Structures are given as structure tokens and as C-alpha cells.
Amino acid sequence: MKNKVSVLVGLQWGDEGKGKIVDMLSKDFDVVARYQGGANAGHTIIIDGKKTVLHLIPSGIFTKNIICVIGNGTVIDPKALIEEIDLLTKDGVDLSGRLYISKDAHIILPYHKIIDAINESKNDKIGTTKKGIGPTYFDKYARRGIKFSDFEDENVLKDKIKKNLAYLISIFPESEELKALSDTGLFNELKEQYEDIKQYFVQTHYLLNNMISEGKNILLEGAQGALLDVDFGTYPYITSSSPTSGGACTGTGIPPTVINGVIGIVKAYTTRVGEGPFPTELFDDTGKEIARIGVEFGATTGRPRRCGWLDLVALKYAVIINGVTEIALTKSDVLDTFKEIKLCTDYELGGDVINTFPSNPFVLQNVKPVYKTFKGWNKSFNESSKYEDLHVEFKEYVEFIENYVGVKIRYISTGPARKDIIIK
Ligand code: GDP
Ligand code: IMO
Ligand code: MG
């Protein structure tokens, strides 16, 4: 049998439960690699009652013998990385020979976080995580970004930091925080951090492709979600990277020809953190109840997540652009006590009924969801671990989703722990 090279993507606005599913699937893989984003991600894993939130290190790290890779498409704040490594090491997770980071990943410097905060205060608010993600990708595409491989010539690195800082002060002259930075101070701090972590940096594109040649199974872990994608998300209310499956190729150097599966993760309802259109958002008690039972608070920022029903128009769009081959449905247990459960099947827009996802966020803002109402299953999942034994109302809900999007739901997550899973 051919080795498995799969991409795992969030199909909504993030926080679908990717961390849990990656952790659960890891036993079938040799390598788990992140391909985009940075410490804006918060992937929660609960093993034997102990909860860990990972921001940069792939969610396969708790599986014995697995290799974890942070690919070139990510942006890395060395301080956040060191904190995460320290936390895992303190918890007894052995990282030696198990963590590899791309030299080509771009570095988040302190000025990127300052600019993230300035942008949020001056322009239309996006509701970013303020981790410096957007400004770092901005520098990358403006061809002045700094990569870890810049340490191979420290004089060039020093010069880049000096020029970048001077440039930023010239465009944000009123920022006292930027003026308080010095290029030598920035270099020295970065150098000190790099000394702590330099053993992890390699050209991960060679490492990954060699492993594929050796027949190893690779899981590519997306952060965020399709509707936050820089091309396909609700632009400009997006993150600044490509969480969709295409991003897994450019973000790792793994060619599209070897990828043979795309696992899409979807919550049984919808959540969103930050600003931007959200057609099925609920502002009533039902929305509050979903948030309460689902404990919907951001794993990175602690912000309350906006909640609403599952939007099949958006889901089908996400399935198409990612080429999803199988779905993991998470947090279905959160809906256990609801009398009625709704699925959005169409949008009403200016008297028309449409079933495509509009590109313009201001158009999307004005659509009215058309719902199909299902009778709630009103039972917990505790007793059943086989799909066949599940409540008929729940199976109707699952099968309606499958038929609508044209892809099978293979995994049903019924709780936050590793063991809470039904394989269909
Ligand atoms: P990620 O960013 O996609 O990895 O998701 P987060 O970790 O940010 O948010 C998902 C939250 O839901 C976490 O608190 C998980 O522990 C929790 N979770 C994951 N799957 C399930 C599930 O099936 N049921 C319940 N009740 N909680 C879940
Ligand atoms: P995981 O991987 C949910 C959102 C932010 C904001 C927008 C831009 O845990 O699913 P950024 O800091 O990236 O420039 O913010 O994107 N956002 C997320 N929302 N889950 C995430 O990651 C997110 N990462 C960024 O709230 O709306
Ligand atoms: Mg998250």
C-alpha cells in the first residue's frame, strides 16, 4: 500500500477541534507537520484529564516516536516557541530528535506585535490575536522578512534588522514603542533566543521528502480554518496565511502529487472569534447555551467565541476548495440537550435564494440563512461507541450533512478527550 500523506484542515473559522483529532490520528502516522500560521493557533489536547494547548508545536507531539515538523510556511515568535518547548519538557515530553523546524520559516520580531496592535487601533478592526502574524507575513511578501536562515550571515541579518526598524519608524513616526527599540538590542535578544533553539533548524523540505521516499506516513496539520484563508476566507476578516489544503504544499515543500487525502474538521455548529460576517450567528439564548455547554472561549486569547448553527453553504464551499476526502465531526455532544437543531441549507439575498458562498463580506453580511429544522436527539453519547447504535435523530443529522456536501463523515467526536471518538 502507498504511504499516507494527508492534510488536515479546519473547515470553518478555526477552533473546530483540530488538535484533538490530530492527536487521535497520530498513531497512524510517522510525522506531523504544521504548514502555516503561528502562535495565533491554539490547539487543545486532553490526555488522561490533563489539558495542553499547543500554539506552534504540532499536535502529534504526545504520540510516542512521532517526528514533529514546523514548516517553512509558518511564522515563528522565538519567545513563544521557547515557552512551549519549556512547557513540554517540564511535562516530561522528550523533544530530542523529534522536533525539526524549517530554516525558511519567517521570524516574528517584537516590532511585528507592536504593528499588529497599531493596525488594530487605527484601521477597521479585524480582531486579531495580536501575535504579530499579519505584519510578519506582510514583510515576507514585501521581500524584507527575516528568516532563521539569515543567521547563516549575521552581518546581513544585523543590516536587515536595522533597515526594517528604521523603515517602520518612518511609517509609524508616532509610535513611542517602536522608537524605544534599538536594532542592536533586537539582534542581541534574537541571537540569545536562537542559541537556545538552533539545534532544531534544518531544511525541512528535504527531510519531509526523504521521509516520503522511505514510505513514511505524513500528516499535515492546518491551523485556523478555510473561512480565514487569505484567498478563500471572508477577506479582509481573515488571517494572513493559507490554511486551505493548497497551503500545505507551499508551506512544507511537499508536492501536490503525493498528497492522497484531505481530512476536514467541522464542528456540529459554528463559532468565530474576532470580527467579520457570520450568517448563522445566534444572538439569543440558544447561542448563549451553545457557548456555555461548548465552553466556547478562545484557546489563545480567552475571548468569548461567537456561536451559531452549522452553515452547510459555507461547509460545502470549504469542502470543494480543500478537496476534502473525509470529515471529522466534532462537539456533537454539545447539542445533546437541544430540542431542535438547525442546519442552514441556503441563503436568501435580495429576494433570491442562493447556495454559493459570496466573496464579498459585505454581501455575506446581508444574507439571511434558510434553515432546515431537525428534532434533537436529546440523549448523551455515553452508552454507545458504535455508529449503528446511535440515536436515529443524530444519524439523520449526520446523513443530511453527508448528502449535502457529498463527503462521508468518518469520525464523530463526542467529547474533548482522546477516547471520545466514534469511527464510522
Ligand atoms: P483547534 O484550534 O481546532 O484545535 O480547536 P481548539 O482547541 O481551539 O477548540 C476546541 C475545543 O473543544 C477545545 O477546548 C477541545 O478540548 C474541545 N473539544 C474538541 N473536541 C470536542 C468534542 O467532541 N466535544 C467537546 N465537548 N469538546 C471538544
Ligand atoms: P486555531 O488554529 C480561531 C482569527 C482571529 C482574527 C483573525 C486574524 O486555533 O483554529 P490573526 O491574529 O491571525 O491575524 O487574526 O483570525 N484567528 C483564529 N480564530 N482559531 C484560530 O486558530 C485563529 N487564528 C486566528 O481571531 O479574527
Ligand atoms: Mg484553536
Query: Concatenated DSSP letters for 250-281?
Result: HTT---GGG--EEEEEEESSEEE-SSS--TTB
Supply the residue whose CA is at minimum distance from atom 20 of ligand 1: 416
Q: Return the CATH fold of 5-103+203-262.
A: Adenylosuccinate Synthetase; Chain A, domain 1 (3.40.440)
Cβ count within 10 A of residue 241: 28
Does residue 43 have an active-site annotation? yes
106 φψ region: left (φ > 0), alpha (ψ -120 to 50), beta (else): beta
d(CA 222, CA 247): 9
Domain boundaries, the chain: 5-103+203-262, 106-196, 265-423
Residues β-bridged to residue 310: 343
Which of 128, 133, 220, 297 gets mutated to test ligand 2 (max ligand atoms within 8 A of its CB)?
A: 128
Does residue 284 have an active-site annotation? no
Average pLDDT over residues 51-69: 97
Residue that has been written with the C-alpha cell 454507545 in this structure = 384
Q: Which helix (H) or strand (E) holds 128?
A: none
Catalytic residue among 23, 28, 30, 43: 43
The CATH number of 106-196 is 1.10.300.10
pLDDT in tens, 379-418: 888 766 789 989 999 999 999 999 999 999 999 999 999 9
CA of 123 to the centre of ligand 1 (A): 32
d(CA 224, CA 38): 10
- Closest ligand 1 atom, CA of 41? 2
Average pLDDT over residues 77-95: 97
Report whether residue 277 contacts ligand 2, using a CB cutoff of 6 Å: no
CA of 91 to the centre of ligand 2 (A): 27
pLDDT in tens, 287-326: 999 999 999 998 888 889 999 999 999 999 999 999 999 9
Which of 57, 84, 129, 227 gets mutated to test ligand 2 (max ligand atoms within 8 A of its CB)?
A: 129
CA of 336 to the centre of ligand 3 (A): 22
Give which of 334, 337, 415, 332 is closest to 376, Cα–Cα. Answer: 337
Does residue 2 register a pLDDT over 90? no
**In terms of CATH architecture, what is 265-423?**
Alpha-Beta Complex (3.90)
Which of 9, 13, 43, 44 gets mutated to test ligand 1 (max ligand atoms within 8 A of its CB)?
A: 44
Q: Which pLDDT belongs to residue 384?
A: 65
Task: Find the distance separating the first CA and the last CA of the chain, reported in whole Å.
Answer: 22
Q: Count the helix, strand and coil residues of the chain and give each as a percent rounded to the nearest 5.
A: 35, 20, 40
- Closest ligand 1 atom, CA of 44? 7
Provide the percentage of residues in the chain whose pLDDT is more than 90. 95
- Closest ligand 1 atom, CA of 20? 19
